[in-house]
Every structure is written in C-alpha cells, then in structure tokens.
Amino acid sequence: MSDKDQENPEITKIKDFVKDGRIDDAVKIIALYLGDSTQDDYTERLEDIIEMLLLLHGGQTVLRFLIEQLVIDIPSLLENLSKRDSVLRYNFLLLVKTMCEQECSILLPYSEDLLSSEDPNVREAVLQLIIFMAGGENKIDDESLIGKISNTLTDEKEFVVEKAVQALQVIGRNNPSLVTKIITLKVKEYPENDELKNVVDIVLKSIVTVEKIDELVEDSEKKEITDKDLIEKEEAEIIDKELELKKKEIEIKKKKLELEEKEKEIEKKIIQEKEKTLKLKEEIIEQESKEESDLVQISDEIPKKVKKKLMKEEFEILDKEILLKKKDLEIKKKKLELEFKEREIEELAITEKEKNLKLKEELIEKESELSQVEIELQKKKIEEKERKILEGELERAKEKIENLEKESEDGED
Amino acid sequence: MPLEQNHIANFLKDKDNSNPRYKSELFNLLRDRIDELCEICSKDRIRNVLNPMCHHRFLLGLRLLNGLGIEDQPEFCYDVHKDIVFRDFRNKTVIYKPNDAYLYLIDFFDNFFHGGYRRLNLLFAKKDFKVVKKIFDDRINNRDENFQYKLTDDENFMVFKYDEKIHVIFINENYALCNATREYVKDLELLFGLCKLFARIYFPEIKLKLIPNNCIEIKTIIPKETLQKISSTEPTDEDSKRDKYIWNVFPSELDTLSQFSNEINIYLDKKKDLAIRLHIGIESEAILNRPKRFLLRYRDLRLVFNIIYRLYNDFYILHI
C-alpha cells in the first residue's frame, strides 16, 4: 500500500472496519469520504478506495454494498476509471467478476446505455462485464442487448470488436439460435463489410458445434413455421383493414348520397314554400280585386276569414322554418362526422358544401323574412281598406240615420 | 519422446554438424511465433494487462535491447508495461513487481521526472550533463524528491537510487533499466559508478579504486582498537552484538563476499588494523575452455554493499 494511504486516517479506518467485518460502517465511511471530495480529487479518492478494496479480504462485499446503495455509480465509475491507467481499470473489472457471475441484475441494467458510450474503454469494460455475467449463473437472452453487442462488432476500435466477439461467443454457448439470428441479420445490414463477416464467422464457428446443430435446425424450423404464421396473420390483418377501409368508403358514399338527397328535399321544400307563398299572394290579390269590385256588398265576415287564413299560414311557415333549422343542424352534425372520416382531402369539399348550404340557408332566411314583410304589408293594406270600408259604412249609416230622423220629423210635423 | 528445450539448445550450440539453413529456419519459426503471440496477446487487452502471454513482458525487453524502436513494440503492451513501472514507483498495486524493466529513455523520464521530461531527454541526447545535474539537484533540494544519482566517469551511464530501488540509464543506447535486480552488471564503468553512489550514501570513508579492464577494489578496515575489544573466545548470550557478529556471522559473510569477488584479502596492515580488500569484477575468470561469463547481478551487488555497510557502521564509525 502506498505511503499516501498509510498517512490517510480515513483509509486506515475503512480498512480496520472491513477487517473487523463491519461492512456497513465501512460503506458509510466510504460514502462520506467520497462525498467530501471535490471534483478534482474525486477520482483520486475513488482510486484509493478501489486500490484498498482490491487488496482486502471482503473487499468484494464492500464493493457490492457500495454499488447496491448507489454510493458508487457504475457508469460514472467506469468513465472515471477509463481516464486512469488500464491496470486499475482491469483490476476493478476482476473485482466485480464474482458479483457479475452471481448477481448480474446489479450491473445488467446499465449495460445497454454503456455500450453506447463515446469512450471505447468504457465500451470494452462493459463488454467484459457482460462476458462475466454470461459466463455465470444467469442466461442472457435479451434480444435488444444482444443486438447492441452485435452493433459493437463494427466498432472502430479493434479491442472493442475483440471483446464483442468474446461476449457473443459466451452468450451464444447458451443461446446459439438467438445469437446466430441477430448476427446474421447484422451481416445482412452491411453486406459489403468484410471485416464484419470475418468476426461473425469467428463467433459462429465457436457457437455452432455438432451437438448444437440439431437445436439450431429445430429453432430455424420453428422460426420458419412461426414466420409463416406471422405472414398469414399479417396478410389477414391487411385484408381486414382493406375491408374496413372499403366499408368506410361505402359509408362515406352513402352519407354523401343521403346528404345530397336531403339537400334535394330541402330544395323541394323551399320550392313548395315559395309556391305556397305565391298562392297566398295570388289569393290576397284576388281578394283585393273582389273587395274592390264588391265594395258595397262587403260584409264583416270576409276580412275575418282572410285574417284566420293568414294567421294559419304564418304559423305553418314558422313551423317549417324551425323544422328547416333543425334539419340544418342535423346536416351540420353529419357533416362534422364526415369531416372526421373523410380526413383532410374531403374536408375541402365539405367546407365548400357547407358554404353553399349556408348561402342557401341565408337565402331561405332572407326569403322568409321578405315573405313576412310582404305579408305584414298586405295585412296593413287590408286593415286600411277595412277601416276605410268601416268608415264609409259608418258615414252611410249616419246619413241613413239622419235621413230616417228627418223623415220621421217631417212625418210628425 | 517429444522434442524438448535442451534438444533445441543442443542443436543451436552444435557448430560443426548443424546446417546454418536449418538454424535460420528454426529462428524464423521462433520469430513468427513471437509475432503471433504478441498479436494475440495485444488483441485481448484485459488478458494483456492481467495475464500477459510472456513472463513479465520480457519480449518487450528483447526488442528494446536489440535496438528496435517503440514503433516496433506492441503499442498497448508497452503502454501497460510503462504504467506498471509508474504504479510501482508510486507504490500502487501492481499485478507483478516490474523488476528489470526496460523503458525507452523518454518514457523513463516521463515516469520518474514527469515535469520537464522532454527537456531532460533532449539534454541527455546532447550530453549536457551540467544542466541535467542542476535539474536533478533542484528536484532533490527544493522539491523534496527522494533520490540519489551518479553519472559515471565516462558519462556512459547514470545510476539512480530511489529508496531500495536502482535504476540505470544507458545513455548511448537511449534506454533505462528500472528496478535492476536480476540483470547482470555488464560494464566496469557502471559497476564503479554504482560503488561510488552507494559509498557516497552509506560508507563514504571506504576507499574505492578502479583497476582498469579488471575490477573495482574496495578496501575497508576493522580498527585495531575495535579488534582488541572483541572476545577471544566464543561469545555467550551476555556478550556484545559485535562479538556475536564476528564469531557467528562474519565467516559466512566473508564466504558470500568471496562468491562475488574475484579476489578477497584479509590482513593486518601496518597500523595493525584488520584490512579487508575486495576485488569485485563483472566477469568470472576464464577457466580452461570455459568462456568468461558475467558474474555479478545487481542484487548480488546490493548484498556486497550491505556487508560492507555493516562492517563500516558497526566496526569503523562506532570506533571513530
């Protein structure tokens, strides 16, 4: 041990704790010791700790505790160690070997991210840890992780490729079919990469043995079967989707037709309404002409009937207008539904139609307003005429009464 | 019976019967195997660091000692080798003790004198040792760096002593031997330099003399007064340590000294002091048809110096 360590009371204390089996206390002091470090001396302190643990019986246990309790974070530790000399880094890897073999769950979660590290030393270190893990009690069958490892077969650093080959060889011993599948796919991705082909050859040669050929063939047959099933399923799904699409298209067409029909109906109704209003106008004009021709014989009953008719007609028009508005709202709703279904392309057509419909509605409204105004005008005219007639009759009646009174006075005289 | 090492050794030794072409073929086989081995070893860096395929990376030294440059070395392996020397120097954990580790001079300076190592390399290339000495003295006196150094008389070597470790710079060859232990001391000038360095630190009053092309003479004495105090009979438990040493240990140490000396003389000089004169050489005497061979390893030299230091410290200094 270095003189520096001997002078360091904290390191001595940690050593004593580990020697006495007080692992928890040792971990706490290490946490404090690392926690007190500055950015500059953190790596120094970390190195001291690793150095000390390397030499101590029970150092592995302490390290496991440190990792479990997140005092030491594996990714940052590997990055820090990659800045130091290789001796320390690889010694650390040896220190965690047993841990990797027995409890790979502590280190495995970091693997995928670390394989993407920019530092080739880190990539290499992770691959070494994966080798330890795969060589231990646990089986690595994570397709995504194996895929990431196979990506490092094309790494720019030869030593990383070497480690990737070793890692795939170790994983492939327990899982030859999966590794074979992934690395052959990798070769297909880069058909012109001869170096990749060579390293894949090396991996395959070490994985494929006489004993494992049957397993691989069975797997490939299963894969073929499953592939066929998958294709059939996919085809069926595609057909279903096509049918659904066709159904939707038909529905859209139906709705379009319905809309057109409704539009036609509305137009018909508008025409009918116009016809009715025209008839009413004609009737009113006829009545006026009759009234003019038979001024003397006009009785009180005629204007009353006309009034009643007008009133009825007004109510009917109002009801129809409400109905029309309701129908318009329904059309709008359906249009909105259609808008969702017909998507962007059909939206334009619908908006145009909407505009047309709106224009028509406005026209209808304006026409109805006009007709109301006309009716009111007619009413007023009729009322004036009635007044005139009444006034004339009253005058006539007065005159008749006066005449009768004069005649009676003359008779008395 | 399979082919064994000694069969190949016999084949190579046999000057009369062996066809030189076969020897060449054998060497080519060996060379190809070395190249292949280094390639395989360097590919797997973790194995290279933790368990290199050649013992303590001696193949690096093989290339370096034969004048090959750093570009001819397996890069990663050499870097690790340098790191291991550095870690050992800093008392950090190492996979193995990097004894007798050869480094290119610039890397030696980088490890041991990091600040300004390029300048030192340049100064050594120019053999500007005045400036070099200034730099080293400054480091020793002002920067608390704990080392001693000695430039040999003909300026072919510089030896360093860091605690118990000896490093040697081979100036003309442009490399350095770190933690010299089992390697042989192959040059008399270097041996004299080492003797001078150790004498300066541990036994400054002991006389050293270079006998050119032959050996180094080291002469120490046990003063008459001290001799007279030593018991004339075998010491009992209550007697002094010096008596015990002379009676029990001294004979075996003389035996040891004789192993590493060409000549050893013990006599009473004119002052009646017991003089012990050693002639330490680097090669054994040629006996009959046997060729000369190197005799002295660095670790042996340390043993010799330890004995001399004890005699000097226990019997000479204390007396004075």
Q: Which residue has the higher pLDDT, A67 or A297?
A: A67
Most confident of A304-308, A334-338, B136-140: B136-140
CA distance A107 to chain B (A): 19
User: Concatenated DSSP letters for B49-69?
Assistant: HHS-SSGGGHHHHHHHHTT--
CA distance A89 to chain B (A): 9
CB B307 within 8 A of CB B253: yes
In this prediction, what percent of chain B has a pLDDT beyond 90? 60
- Mean pLDDT across chain B: 89
Instruction: List CB contacts (< 8 A) between A87 and chain B.
Output: 49, 80, 83-84, 87, 93-95
Closest Cβ opposite residue B94 in set A3, A87, A162 = A87
- Where are any strands of DSSP class E within B247-308? 263-268, 274-280
Domain residue spans of chain B: 63-183, 191-317
pLDDT at B167 over 70: yes
Looking at the DSSP assignment, which residues form a beta bridge with residue B264? B278
Least confident of A272-286, B112-126, B210-224, B230-244: B230-244
Supply the pLDDT for residue A185.
Answer: 86
Supply the pLDDT for residue A227.
Answer: 60
* Long-range CB pairs of B258-261, under 8 A, 24+ apart, other chains included: B259/B300, B260/B295, B260/B296, B260/B300, B260/B301, B260/B303, B260/B304, B261/B304
Most confident of A217-221, A250-254, B14-18, B197-201: B197-201
pLDDT at B148 over 90: yes
Closest Cβ opposite residue B87 in set A85, A94, A124 = A85
CA distance A151 to chain B (A): 19
Mean pLDDT, to the nearest integer, of A167-182?
88
Q: Which residue of A has its CA nearest to B92?
A: A2
pLDDT at B88 over 70: yes
The structure tokens 């334009």 sit at A348
Mean pLDDT, to the nearest integer, of A352-360?
83
CA distance A21 to chain B (A): 23
Under an 8 A CB cutoff, do A87 and B95 touch?
A: yes
Say how far apart CA A99 and CA A65 lie, in whole Å. 11
Instruction: List CB contacts (< 8 A) between A2 and chain B.
Output: 90-92
Under an 8 A CB cutoff, do B50 and A158 touch?
A: no
Q: Which residue has the higher pLDDT, B75 or A285?
A: B75
pLDDT tens, residue by residue, A6-51: 557 888 888 888 888 888 888 888 888 888 888 777 877 888 888 8
Q: Which amino acid is at A278?
A: L
Most confident of A93-97, A210-214, B114-118: B114-118
Q: What's the sign of the alpha-carbon dihedral B302, B308, B313, B317?
A: negative
Under an 8 A CB cutoff, do A87 and B49 touch?
A: yes
The structure tokens 């089986």 sit at A139
Under an 8 A CB cutoff, do A94 and B92 touch?
A: no
Query: From chain A, which residues contact B within 8 Å (Cβ)?
Result: 1-4, 51, 54-55, 85-88, 90-91, 93-94, 124, 128, 158-159, 162-163, 166
Supply the pLDDT for residue B305.
Answer: 93
pLDDT tens, residue by residue, A233-246: 777 777 788 788 88
Supply the pLDDT for residue B140.
Answer: 93
Supply the pLDDT for residue B150.
Answer: 96
Supply the pLDDT for residue B286.
Answer: 59
pLDDT tens, residue by residue, A119-135: 898 999 999 989 988 88
Instruction: Find all residues with CB under 8 Å of B200, minimum gap 6, and list them.
Output: B148, B150
Under an 8 A CB cutoff, do B43 and A159 touch?
A: yes
Looking at the DSSP assignment, which residues form a beta bridge with residue B263? B279
pLDDT at B64 over 90: yes
Residue A191 — pLDDT band, cuts 50, 70, 90?
confident
Q: Is B50 on the interface with A (CB under 8 A)?
A: yes
pTM of the predicted model as reported, rounded to 2 decimal places: 0.67
User: Tokens for A401?
Assistant: 């009464």
ipTM of the complex: 0.71
CA angle, residues B111, B116, B122, in degrees to nearest 5: 95
